[in-house]
Chains A and B, each alone.
Chain A
Amino acid sequence: GAVVSQHPSWVICKSGTSVKIECRSLDFQATTMFWYRQFPKQSLMLMATSNEGSKATYEQGVEKDKFLINHASLTLSTLTVTSAHPEDSSFYICSALTGQNYEQYFGPGTRLTVT
C-alpha cells in the first residue's frame, strides 16, 4: 500500500503557542489530503479537505483561522494549530487520497498535548 508520513508523532506545547504538523505522501502524489481529529474512545472527525494549490475546505464547526492548512505541493500538506488551548489536545491524523481507486491512506498520527 501507499505510505504517508506525519511529523512530529507527538508534541507538547504551552497554551497560546502555535504548532505545525506535516503530512507527506512518500511514494505517490496526492492532490487531495485530509485532516482528522480523534478524541479518546471517539470516532474520527474530519476537520478539512486539503487540495493542492487551492484553499482547504473546512467542515462545519471547524475554525479555519485556528486550524491553518497549506497544501503547497503534491506530496506535502501542513496543519498549523494557532494559539493552542488545552481543549485542542487530541490525536491529529492526516490521510492522502491515491489516484488509483481513490483509496485513502492514513499517516501515523500526531498526539498534541497543550498545557
Chain B
Amino acid sequence: QKEVEQNSGPLSVPEGAIASLNCTYSDRVSQSFFWYRQYSGKSPELIMSIYSNGDKEDGRFTAQLNKASQYVSLLIRDSQPSDSATYLCAVADATSGTYKYIFGTGTRLKVLA
C-alpha cells in the first residue's frame, strides 16, 4: 500500500513567520510531487509541483524535495492569516497502469495575527 504521510496539525505560526510543512512518501520510484492548499469548504488548489531534488521557489512558497530520504516539504515565508488552510501533499503514482495521485491527509495551518 503506497502511502503519503503528513502531520495533521494544527501547525500554528505567528504572522510574518516561516511555516514549514512536511511530507514523507513510501514509494521510492515516485517522480512527481505536488502541494495543494484547501480552504474549509472549498476544493484543493495547486500551489507547487516539484520533480527534481532540491528547492523550487515561487513567490513566498518554496518546495523542497529529497528523493533519497523520500521527503517533500513546503516553506511559506512571511506567513499571512490568509494562508490559514489545510495543505495537502500529493505524489503521482503511475505504476498500476493508470495515472493517479496519492494524497496525504493534510496539515492544518493556522497563522495567528
Contacts and interface: CB of A to CB of B under 8 A. Distances in A.
Interface residues of B, number: 22
Interface in B31-81: 32, 34, 36, 41-46, 49, 51
A32 B99 contact: yes
A97 B32 CA distance: 13
Contacts of A49: 98-100
Interface residues of A, number: 21
A1 interface: yes
Contacts of B23: none
Contact of A107 (B36, B43, B88, B100): B43
Interface in A39-60: 43-44, 46, 49, 51, 57
A97 B99 contact: yes
A49 B98 CA distance: 8
Contacts of B45: 106
A69 B45 CA distance: 23
A101 B49 contact: yes
A105 B49 CA distance: 12
A59 B41 CA distance: 24
Contacts of B88: 44
Contacts of B43: 93, 106-109
A85 to B, nearest CB: 23
Contacts of A34: 100-101
A57 B98 CA distance: 9
Given A101-B32, A103-B34, A46 B100 contact: yes
Contacts of B106: 43
A97 B46 CA distance: 12
Given A49-B98, A57-B98, A104 B46 contact: yes
Contacts of B105: 43
Given A43-B105, A104-B101, 4 more contacts: A1-B46, A32-B98, A103-B34, A103-B46
Interface of A: 1, 32, 34, 43-44, 46, 49, 51, 57, 91, 93, 97, 101-109
